[in-house]
Structures are given as structure tokens and as C-alpha cells.
Amino acid sequence: MKTWDVAASAHLAEGKALGFQLGSGDWPLKGFVVRHDGGCHAWVNSCPHAGHSLNYGPNDFMTPDGGYIRCLSHGAKFEPDTGACVAGPCPGQYLQRLECHEDSGIIRVRAPASARDL
């Protein structure tokens, strides 16, 4: 598995999210990182209900109050630390977690086994 530098820690404020892309070509892995309770969490940018991106615009993943991740297509809300759907068409389903950690002011994400050849 490869570790990717996706953002500077200072660029991710509490209750906010930053999108990223791992790899290149026609089908790169798209994801985002969220700052919640001081920690960072990374997710694949795919709604478990419909399989499409959660956001419409760049970095537009959170509810206005920064309390939940949201899917702009169908209004689903997800807990930012667990990825659990708590409202909308997919209760009980989860976002796909990516391993994430911060080191020396950089947010790093490890690509899942299915994306190791990126």
C-alpha cells in the first residue's frame, strides 16, 4: 500500500473537508479528509446509496454547521468520525474509510489494496 500526501494540516479547519485524488488517468481514486474533534478522517468520495460523488463543488462535503458529512444528491448525512449514515436514504450504511494520519504538518492517506497500482 502506498501512502499519499493529500494536504497540509493547517489547511484543514475543524468541521471542514478537503477533497483529493490519488493516481491519474480515467479512474483515479477520489476521496476527502475531514477535521472532526481535532482529528482527521479520510473517506472515499462515494455515496453508499447511489455510488456517486457526495459533493457538487470542490470541498463541499459538510453540512453548513460542520457537524455532518452530506450527500448533496439525496440529502444523506454521515457522522464525520465513523462514516455512519444517520439520515437520508441509506441508514445503517457507511462511507468507505481510508487510513489517515498526520505527520510533520502533513495529512497522509494510505491507498486501499484495490488502488495499490495507482
Does the pLDDT of residue 108 top 70, yes or no? Answer: yes
Which distant-in-sequence residues (6+ apart) come within 8 Å of 79 by Cβ? 68, 69, 86
Q: What is the pLDDT of residues 55-85, one digit of tens each?
A: 999 999 999 999 999 999 889 999 999 999 9
Integer Cα distance of 47 and 55 in angstroms: 10
Share the mean pLDDT of the chain: 91
Going from N- to C-terminal start, the domains of the chain cover 3-113
| pLDDT over threshold 80, residue 112 | no
**109 has a pLDDT exceeding 90:** yes
Confidence of residue 115 (pLDDT cuts 50, 70, 90): low
In CATH, what class is 3-113? mainly beta
